[in-house]
A = this chain, B = another copy of it.
Amino acid sequence: MYDCVIIGGGPGGICAAIYAIRAGMKTVIVEKLGIGGQIALSDIIENYPGFPSLSGGELMKNFEDHAKAVGAEFIYTEVKKIEPSTKGISITTSKDAIDTKSVIICTGAQPKRLGFKGEEEFVGRGISNCATCDGPFYRNKPVAVIGGGDTAVKESIYLSKISSKVYHVHRRDRFRAEKVLRDRIMTRDNIEFLWMTSVEEALGDESGVTGLRVTNKDGKTSDIAVDGIFVFVGISPNTGFIDCDKDSQGFIITNENMETSVPGVFAAGDCRVTPLRQVVTSVGDAAIAAFKAEEYVSELEGQGYESSAKA
């Protein structure tokens, strides 16, 4: 019986473990693949305060070392289901079932792929899904933006203030983004719109992306010289194993205490409905979730449950 089971070994999961273990809770991190999460795929991170510039892999190595320093325990298995039980909360995995008093879900989210040639190959080397994260690496350089929703339009405006030029590629003849965003993007004079245009291929070499091959509505194919390609065609959270309140895309709805609609189950970071998905926001969420999980477990014990805390 654990006090706290953390699902996911990315930045949020590791921070939750640091806080949960320091609070005296018997804690384990359950991770499907390996430590690090999405951020481990990033070539360069320059916005986690304290580390001016390093790779995602290096940052997550520091996080992993920190987790080990506080004595974090890991179980490598896939979580299939989380359900309230008579003992507390029961977690079904690919291996053994796990019983716990509280759960913190830190399973993150994955950007959807469009499926063009070179898209997977150049992720982290010129292809990005986050302007806040990677935009500044293309200061005064040309970039392409792909997508027609709110995020694509917002991020295009954002990039137009940093990059020399934005080629905004969209397969339709108008954006489906909300009107205020559609109006705002039209005021930016360094964005060129490529309407009714489909993406064929990311062009590049060992050093990264050098261009984008597109085909317009007349079937004419051309190459645009860009240093970065930003793809905004949605993101998917990893939340299928839990039955709780979610938004239409599957992101978990929490309150400011990171409580989900299931008592004892908390969520932190990219997998929840949140205004921004960054390493710093994940760790902030995770600390609150662990703090509130400790209060929750403490409350259960006040009601006669026995403490399993290791003093």
Contact = CB atoms under 8 A, between A and B. Distances in A.
Contact of A287 (B135, B136, B278, B299): B278
Interface residues of A, number: 64
A49 interface: yes
Contacts of A11: 49
Interface string A292-311: 10110011011000010101
B48 A69 contact: no
A210 to B, nearest CB: 22
A311 B158 CA distance: 11
A203 to B, nearest CB: 25
Contact of A276 (B14, B132, B291): B291
A219 interface: no
Interface in A253-299: 256-257, 274-276, 278, 280-288, 291-292, 294-295, 298-299
B275 A292 contact: yes
Contacts of A281: 284, 287-288
A12 to B, nearest CB: 10
Contact of A256 (B15, B180, B256, B301): B256
A52 interface: yes
Contacts of A294: 158
A86 interface: no
A195 to B, nearest CB: 21
A171 interface: no
A162 B253 CA distance: 32
Contacts of A225: none
